[in-house]
Structure 1
Amino acid sequence: MQRELSYTELKNGCSADDFSFRSTAELEPLEGIIGQDRAVKAFDFGLHVKIKGYNIYMSGPSGTGKTTYAKASTERLAATEEVPLDWCYVYNFQNPRSPLALSFPAGEGRKFRDDMNELVQLFQTELQKVFRTEDYEKQKTELLRGFDEKRDALMDQMSKEAAENDFQVKTTNSGIYFMPVVDGKPVGEEEYDDLAEDVKDVIEKNSQIVQEKASAIMRDIRELDKESKRCVDQLDYKVGMFAIGHHVSAVQEKYEQNEKAVAYINAVKEDVLENISQFFEDEDDGEEGLASLLPMLSKKQPEDVTLKYKVNLIVDNSETKGAPVVTTFNPTYYNLVGEVEYDSEFGNLTTDFMKIKSGLFHKANGGYLIVQAQDILSAPQAWEALRRVIKTKEINMDAIREQLGTVVAPTLKPEPIPANIKIIMIGSSYYYELLSTYDEEFDKFFKIRADFDYEMPRSQENMLKIAQFIKGFTMREKTMDFDVSAVCAVVEYSSRSAERQNKLSTRFNHLAEILGEAAVWAKLDGAEMVTAKHVQKTIVEKEDRLRLYEEKLDEMLEENVIMIDVDGAEVGQINGLAVLDMGSYAFGNPSRITATTYVGKSGIVNIEKEARMSGQTHDKGVQIITGYLGQTYAQKFPLSLSCRVCFEQNYNGIDGDSASSTELYCILSSLAELPIRQDLAVTGSVNQKGEIQAIGGVTYKIEGFFDLCKKRGLTGKQGVIIPVSNIRDLVLKDEVVEAVKEGVFHIYPISTIDEGIALLMSTPAGEKDENGEYPPDSVHGKVMNKLKAFWKYAEGE
């Protein structure tokens, strides 16, 4: 007699006796994560490895706590590590388009910025003060007087030389020119034309002599002007250095350990002394009227004069404790790398080093950056930016507009900043495999993989941790506590979510949803504590919100629009079971499978495949059936069989091999001309040797057929045939368990096709005798005889 499962085997219940507490009020909240020992070990090791390339990829299904654990664990370690450097960008006096990057110990970057601002203010006040003193004006006047005297002497010499050759020197705003003198009177252009030719010849000859002598004198005057300007500049440099030198030296001494900062301060000093005039107020107000009418012609604001002496502090770690941990869910290119902003001035784009804005790489530098794989792969250029930082170990702010060839404005190329960032990327296994396949250096960049499991053992320790997780939830969300019955209900729900009696789900975001909604139902109920009743109501209500499609199918089944029998017996017809997964909700869906057999040589034809409605796994299952028939019956004669197998009223397609045994029973029934019980539904995969293999979704499949039988009326004979290897996967609803307990519904575990044949056709499958023949009244015997007859018909006998 075929074994039938007891109601005690249909789920792994949880009772108050499994715990020593009566409510979560007695517990401490959970610290850490549950059931992910392998992943935690890998992650924690990866955090401590500071070698290039040891970034971490955390893979696994969503909702297992990867992001929460990564953030908490990383912050715990980061708090014990050194605070990273501050970073500033400053003006590059050698190459203004390439701002320099300066680093300082944490907190000193802000001090340096403030010190430079104060120093520039001193420049303005001290220089204006010293260059307005009488002493400076006296020195400058005396200096210039000597040059003026020399210039006047040269001009007198020029006049004398001109007079000796009958020319007169004329000075205008546009320069110096010579007028000929005839009979003691200067001659203009009009008068010159009336002169005799011999007089003009003399004038031309003398003009050449005067021009040559004047050119030499003018060269001397120009050299004198240059020398005058050089001496004035030297005086200005000397006076300016006297005014600001000691202020500059004080700042340099403060940062003497930072060679690059000292060199920058020195460059600022030299630039200031070379451009002292920029610190003086413009006293020329002649253009004010025009400037007020045409703002485009107005001069820059006074603060622009000192812009290049300012400090752009892009990373300020003065308030940071330990190493930074940055988590982002919007890793666009500019959010990661930073950007150089632009201003629009009368239609023209302008920028400067003060408009450099830091990115997440700068903020996480010296610490950790946590990103989601899906987010970074969805943002254009973001993955390229990330891999470039990992590969080069520097943050380079190359404008993406320049990379794409769309630069229409002046660009800056800031000096790259050395990068020391550990990247923690979180995503599914799919993205890990995708990156491994399409980026040949991915394995070099992410040498640590922390793989999170979707399930964990249902041990007493893990059950207690779930109770502590519930306690932590109540404290975090400020809800009422859960009593022990509610904890048991949550444990059972977790086991059902994992679809294993000896496992628990690790997708704690799903559990958190149940906890939150149960607390609300308890509040609406006026309860002081969440009980099992509230958890169960939450589960029912949550499913009810999602079961619209299931209800529509149920209606069609009840009205016999979708034809399925749950009583009687039919030849070549059987009830199969499938699972429809709606994403956040899955349910079992019974369906009728039929088979027709006749003489021919086309073999088994899967109608779904011919209609292109079946997947590869389902097609494989059909081919396995052919192998089974050949192995079992065609040892002495060839198969001459044509067969059509179909999932009736299937319009959405089908995949999977969980119905391969069901299809085989249907084919055997058609060949043996023996009816199949319609009060039994079947699921299970078969191999070529007739062994029944495990399938997925067994709980939903059983419940789906049970619901249909219940609506049609339970006869006491209905049930489901499942693989033996699926017994441990049963986590059935209490309603089904109670029906089995009362003997009105049955679940039969089988391990071979022959066991299923006996159940479905109420006839022994039959065993071969020593001649390799089956008993004629057995199912195999009837099938063998039919196939022999088909062969003879096909041969024309």
Structure 2
Amino acid sequence: MTDNSATAAPSGTELPADRLRWRCDPGTFDFVTSADLADPGEPIGQPRAIEAIGFAIDMDRPNYNLFVHGPEGFGKHGIVTAMLERHAAGRPVPPDLCYINNFDDERAPIAVQLTAGHGRRLKTDVDAFVRDLGNVLRSAFEGEQYRNRRQTVEDELKERQEQVLKALDRDARAAGLALMHTPMGFVFAPMRNGEVIKPEVFERLTEEEKERVQDAIRQFQERLQRDLRQVPVWMKETQERLRELNRETAGFAVAPMIGELRAAYGDVEEVSSFLDAVERDIALNVEAILQQPQGGGEAMLPAGQDGHPVTRRYRVNLLVDNGDCAAPPVLFEDSPGFDQLLGRIEHQARFGTLHTDFLLVRPGALHRANGGYLILDVRQVLTRPMAWDGLKRALTARQLRIRPLADELGMLATSSLEPEPVPLDVKVVLIGDPRLYAMLSALDPEFPRLFKVAAEFDDRIERNEDALASYVRMLAAIARREGLKPLDRGGMALVLEEAVRHAGDSERLTLHHEALADLLREADYWAGRRKDEAVTADAVTRALDARRRRGERIRERMLEQIERGTIRIETEGAATGAINGLAVYQMGEFFFGKPSRITARVRLGRGDVVDIEREVKLGGPTHSKGVLILTGFLSGRFGGRQPLSLNASLVFEQSYGGVDGDSASSTELYALLSAISGIPIRQSWAVTGSVDQYGNVQAIGGVNEKVEGFFDVCNARGLTGDQGVLIPASNVKHLMLHPRVVDAVREGRFHIHAVEHVDQGIELLTGTAAGQADDKGVYPEGTVNRAVQDRLKEFNDIRKALARSAEEAEGERDGE
């Protein structure tokens, strides 16, 4: 059987210096500084996302809310906000929202929507009405007309009382009795000759006369009691007449002010009904209003309360004031908790207890954005208790109902208000990352129904002439927006090169706005230190070097341990079954590469390749998959005519943390081939790249950091001209190496080879031809593959011999 994977593999290609980094020629720019450039008309590199956002904004149907997702720092928020503001410009401003007291059920305040700006006017006018109410009523009740009418009513009561007493006194005198008013009340006493007789005189009367006098006193006393029982009735009638007088007087007093409010707001049904109720309530509570201190009584109330308990009910709670808006609101809520989104009902401490009313209803972001657009960070919403459920409920019902969070959580809540729900017409934009979008789509059945449009931001764009022209204008716009110095041609060229490096692809440009803005800010700082008028290439270089230095402490410690021999990395000589692999480490935003020594050992066995990292649970699933692929490669290439009779072990030496990823699978395969064949590998080389079961070398990530990591080790020990790195040919387009590496390659002190197949790599690493199998599957003498084939045959022969010996020994035991 022949191995098709080993046919005619081309030799590896050494890369010249000009293929290791894209260079931007400052001479191609037609500007002196970026101050000469206009802003780009549209966000660059996001046509798909812009189209989706525009569709969602224009779609005037329910539930076409928008989810914008993409990597962090790519300007999603700014782009979305700008598009929403452009779309909102010229559209009708949504109404103001007020809550007023419900005099029929004060637990259910009434919602009132007014034309933008009228809510503020209504509140101002009603506040002035309440402020002047006490003085107007006092003026009316202190006037001569009211006092005269009140005096008349009171005099009538007094006159009736006096008439009853006069008649009783007249009749008593006729019967020889006197009506006397004492501290103990009214009493009757006998008279003679117009004078009250003394007790001793009364005692000298005959018994008949005494009995007659006492009988007369008893009769008149009963008559007095009957007459006095009428007095409370007369007083009640009088009080009702006084109250009616007060109501009439109050009505006349406030009628002009109420009339002005009706004239201004009577076309709003809720306000008209509210003013009618206020007028009736004033008449019913005029005495309480008059009793409050001069100036409204605020000075007598606990801190934080607004107005007298009676007149508070006449005020207007302005929740949303759109009077200063020229277009529908575009609002971003940075703390989207349940109350912050849906509104809340506050309470005030009053004499040791908590109280609330309609004036303590507070709006949420959905109230303020109603009629416009609300932007939310979906992660912040999901991490706030009940905020996500509350948002979904409001969007589903298309109305805003303010409820305490305790009700949502099923907790025992104090008695509270139930404000009238408000119709909801808002476009909600959620901003998050793709993982959250995928999670919500999979786990929340309501999510796809409420957020029907997704806009996905790209992280990079193709580097071509049109893109570069737009890109430099974008950089100029960032510098202007941040108030930074303009970039000259050299500075712009270097920023573009860093944008390519950040994209991880020499044919692409990053769209990470925040990273670009950070670089411009830091370069502006260094330009300011030098008193430059513009940001030069030197300022950009200083910014990049300073950033690298701030984050490379761990990298320097690792390099120091390698230089001192604590971590063993060979950069000279040759060794069998040992090779330098490459890995990428991350510390915050700083990435760096570091070489690792990978070794392989082989022995007689049953064809297993043991991943020591996996056995001790330090290897991740992707790394373990890569090791299993090696077994597939060996079986496919060398196991067609004979079983694999070996066991092999692979390990990352001095690795004390987790290992994952398959980027070292080709490296491990080289070590394994060396261990089996006995042909040593040049230790001056490091390797990266994954491999498939046919031996094809595949692309990996972090190629720039990996190459630079091994270069730094070699450079620290001294470049010999024999050192270098093998990378996958499919990674060449990703190279944006640091100039120090490029310069060393140009000078022939360091080498980078691109390989497509492991046969190319093993030839470069061992200096021995890989070999191509003939029609019978036999490799030529003196090749790596033949050495592997012979060693495997040797293992197989030994295994067969051991098997025969075991059978013979078993037969001898059976014969005995």
- TM-score with structure 1 length normalisation? 0.86
Judge conservation of contact 1:576–1:593 (CA < 8 Å) in 2.
yes
Partner of 1:733: 738
DSSP 3-state at the match of 1:433: helix
Q: Distance in 1 between matches of 2:134 and 2:308?
A: 11
Partner of 1:502: 507
For residues 538-549 of structure 1, what are the structure 2 equivalents within 5 Å? 538-549=543-554
Q: How far did residue 702 of structure 1 move?
A: 1.1
Partner of 2:797: 792
Aligned counterpart for 2:70 among listed residues 46, 60, 71? 60
Judge conservation of contact 2:12–2:761 (CA < 8 Å) in 1.
no
Q: How far did residue 408 of structure 1 move?
A: 6.3
Partner of 1:676: 681
Judge conservation of contact 1:296–1:346 (CA < 8 Å) in 2.
no
Judge conservation of contact 1:87–1:103 (CA < 8 Å) in 2.
yes
For residues 147-186 of structure 1, what are the structure 2 equivalents within 5 Å? none
* Alignment pair present for 1:114 and 2:119: no
Aligned counterpart for 1:703 among listed residues 693, 708, 733? 708
Partner of 2:82: 72
Number of paired residues?
756
DSSP 3-state at the match of 2:324: coil
* Alignment pair present for 1:28 and 2:38: yes
* Alignment pair present for 1:13 and 2:18: no
Judge conservation of contact 1:32–1:69 (CA < 8 Å) in 2.
no
Give CA deviations for 1:349-389 in whole Å, capped at 9, x if unaligned.
Answer: 22222222323222222212222223223333332332232
Judge conservation of contact 2:292–2:308 (CA < 8 Å) in 1.
no
Q: How far did residue 123 of structure 1 move?
A: 4.1
Judge conservation of contact 1:495–1:502 (CA < 8 Å) in 2.
yes
DSSP 3-state at the match of 1:280: helix
Q: How far did residue 118 of structure 1 move?
A: 3.2
Q: Distance in 2 between matches of 1:152 and 1:753?
A: 129
Partner of 1:2: 12
Give CA deviations for 1:500-557 in whole Å, capped at 9, x if unaligned.
Answer: 1110111121111221221222222233332212211211121011100000011111
Q: How far did residue 407 of structure 1 move?
A: 5.5
Q: Distance in 1 between matches of 2:183 and 2:324?
A: 63
Q: How far did residue 276 of structure 1 move?
A: 2.4
For residues 564-643 of structure 1, what are the structure 2 equivalents within 5 Å? 564-601=569-606, 603-643=608-648
Partner of 2:750: 745
Q: Distance in 1 between matches of 2:43 and 2:306?
A: 59
Judge conservation of contact 2:371–2:426 (CA < 8 Å) in 1.
yes
The letter for the 2-side match of 1:672 is: S
Q: How far did residue 585 of structure 1 move?
A: 0.8
Partner of 2:52: 42
The letter for the 1-side match of 2:527 is: A
The letter for the 1-side match of 2:355 is: T
Q: How far did residue 220 of structure 1 move?
A: 9.2
Q: Distance in 1 between matches of 2:381 and 2:694?
A: 49
Q: Which moved more, 1:104-113 or 1:706-715?
A: 706-715
The letter for the 2-side match of 1:523 is: G
* Alignment pair present for 1:722 and 2:727: yes
Q: Distance in 2 between matches of 1:214 and 1:749?
A: 128
The change in CA–CA distance for 1:789 and 1:226 in structure 2 (over 3 A counts) is farther
Q: Distance in 1 between matches of 2:124 and 2:534?
A: 58
The letter for the 2-side match of 1:343 is: Q
The change in CA–CA distance for 1:121 and 1:790 in structure 2 (over 3 A counts) is same
Q: How far did residue 107 of structure 1 move?
A: 0.8
- TM-score with structure 2 length normalisation? 0.84
The letter for the 1-side match of 2:268 is: N
The change in CA–CA distance for 1:64 and 1:529 in structure 2 (over 3 A counts) is same
For residues 128-277 of structure 1, what are the structure 2 equivalents within 5 Å? 128-133=138-143, 135-136=145-146, 139=149, 232-277=242-287
Aligned counterpart for 2:457 among listed residues 452, 459, 467? 452
The change in CA–CA distance for 1:175 and 1:665 in structure 2 (over 3 A counts) is farther
Q: Report the RMSD for the aligned CA atoms in angstroms.
A: 3.8
Judge conservation of contact 1:522–1:530 (CA < 8 Å) in 2.
yes
Give CA deviations for 1:30-83 in whole Å, capped at 9, x if unaligned.
Answer: 444221121122112222223221222221111111112222222222232221
DSSP 3-state at the match of 2:308: helix
The letter for the 2-side match of 1:79 is: A
Partner of 2:174: none
DSSP 3-state at the match of 2:309: helix
Judge conservation of contact 1:350–1:410 (CA < 8 Å) in 2.
no
DSSP 3-state at the match of 2:649: strand
Judge conservation of contact 1:33–1:65 (CA < 8 Å) in 2.
no
Judge conservation of contact 2:278–2:314 (CA < 8 Å) in 1.
yes
* Alignment pair present for 1:440 and 2:431: no
* Alignment pair present for 1:336 and 2:341: yes
DSSP 3-state at the match of 1:494: helix
Partner of 1:755: 760
The change in CA–CA distance for 1:481 and 1:134 in structure 2 (over 3 A counts) is closer
* Alignment pair present for 1:304 and 2:309: yes
Q: Distance in 2 between matches of 1:577 and 1:705?
A: 8
DSSP 3-state at the match of 2:618: coil
Give CA deviations for 1:199-258 in whole Å, capped at 9, x if unaligned.
Answer: xxxxxxx9xxx99x9999999998877766555544444443333334423322322321
* Alignment pair present for 1:465 and 2:470: yes
Indicate the percent of aligned positions where both proteins have the same amino acid: 36
Give CA deviations for 1:438-471 in whole Å, capped at 9, x if unaligned.
Answer: 3221122222212111111112222223322332
The letter for the 2-side match of 1:81 is: R
Q: Which moved more, 1:455-464 or 1:128-137?
A: 128-137
Unaligned 5+ runs, structure 1: 159-170, 177-205, 284-291
Q: Distance in 1 between matches of 2:255 and 2:467?
A: 71
Give CA deviations for 1:614-666 in whole Å, capped at 9, x if unaligned.
Answer: 11110110111111111111123322221110000111221100111111111
Q: Distance in 1 between matches of 2:326 and 2:148?
A: 58
Q: Distance in 1 between matches of 2:229 and 2:446?
A: 68
Partner of 1:81: 91
DSSP 3-state at the match of 2:57: helix
Give CA deviations for 1:713-733 in whole Å, capped at 9, x if unaligned.
Answer: 222222111111111111112
Q: Distance in 1 between matches of 2:250 and 2:538?
A: 86
Q: Distance in 1 between matches of 2:785 and 2:224?
A: 131
The change in CA–CA distance for 1:271 and 1:296 in structure 2 (over 3 A counts) is closer
Judge conservation of contact 1:350–1:409 (CA < 8 Å) in 2.
no
DSSP 3-state at the match of 2:310: helix
The letter for the 1-side match of 2:137 is: L
Partner of 1:662: 667
Q: Which moved more, 1:15-24 or 1:720-729?
A: 15-24
Q: How far did residue 475 of structure 1 move?
A: 2.7
The change in CA–CA distance for 1:157 and 1:780 in structure 2 (over 3 A counts) is farther
DSSP 3-state at the match of 2:32: coil
Q: How far did residue 572 of structure 1 move?
A: 0.6
